[in-house]
Amino acid sequence: MMMKGEMWSNLGSTMAAIMFMYAMFRQYFPPQLHDYIFRYIKKLSNFMYPYVHITFDEFTGERMKRSEAFSAIQNYLSGKSSAYAKRLKADVVKDGQSLVLSMDYGEEITDDFNGVKVWWAARRSTEKTQFSSYAAADEKRDFILKFHKRDRQFVTGTYLTHVLKKGKAIAADNRQRKLYSNSAGHVMSVFRSTSWAHVVFEHPATFDTLAMDAKKKEEIKKDLVKFSKRKEYYAKIGRAWKRGYLLYGPPGTGKSTMIAAMANFLNYDVYDLELTTVKNNVELRRLLIDTSSKAIIVIEDIDCSLHLTGQREKRKKKDENEEMDPISKKAEEEEKKDSEVTLSGLLNAIDGIWSACVGERIIVFTTNHVEKLDPALIRRGRMDRHIEMSYCRFEAFKVLAKNYLDIDSHPLFGEIGRLLEETDMTPADVAEILMLKSDDDEDDETCLKNLIEALRAVKEEARKKAEEEARLKEEEEQKEKEQSVQEDVEQDTISAIEVKENGVIH
How far apart CA 299 and CA 249 sit, in angstroms, is: 15
**Of 86-90, 174-178, 228-232, the least confident:** 86-90
Q: How confident is the model at residue 400 (pLDDT cuts 50, 70, 90)?
A: very high
Over residues 130-159, mean pLDDT: 77
Over residues 93-102, mean pLDDT: 63
| pLDDT tens figures, 242-256 | 999 999 999 999 999
Distances (CA, A) of 459 to 32, 393, 414, 422: 93, 14, 17, 7
- Res. 353: pLDDT tops 50: yes
Report whether 362 contacts 242 (CB < 8 A): yes
Phi, psi of 326 (to 5 degrees): -55, -40
CA R_g for the chain = 35
How far apart CA 367 and CA 309 sit, in angstroms, is: 17
**Of 97-111, 265-279, 431-445, the least confident:** 431-445
Percent of the residues in the chain that have a pLDDT greater than 90, as a whole number: 40
| Backbone angle region of 151, left / alpha / beta, with phi > 0 → left and psi within -120 to 50 → alpha | alpha
The H or E element spanning position 458 is helix 444-502
How far apart CA 299 and CA 308 sit, in angstroms, is: 13
- What single letter denotes the amino acid at residue 460? E
| pLDDT tens figures, 154-177 | 999 999 999 999 998 888 777 788
Which one has a higher pLDDT value, 454 or 30? 454
pTM of the model: 0.71
Q: What is the DSSP string of 154-205?
A: HIIIIIHHHHHHHHHHHHHHH---EEEEEPTTPPP-SS----EEEEE-----
Q: How confident is the model at residue 479 (pLDDT cuts 50, 70, 90)?
A: confident
| pLDDT tens figures, 354-377 | 888 888 999 999 999 998 888 888
Over residues 173-201, mean pLDDT: 71
Percent of the residues in the chain that have a pLDDT greater than 70, as a whole number: 77
Q: How confident is the model at residue 98 (pLDDT cuts 50, 70, 90)?
A: low
- Res. 134: pLDDT tops 50: no
**Of 31-45, 293-307, 393-407, 426-440, the least confident:** 31-45
- Res. 28: pLDDT tops 60: yes
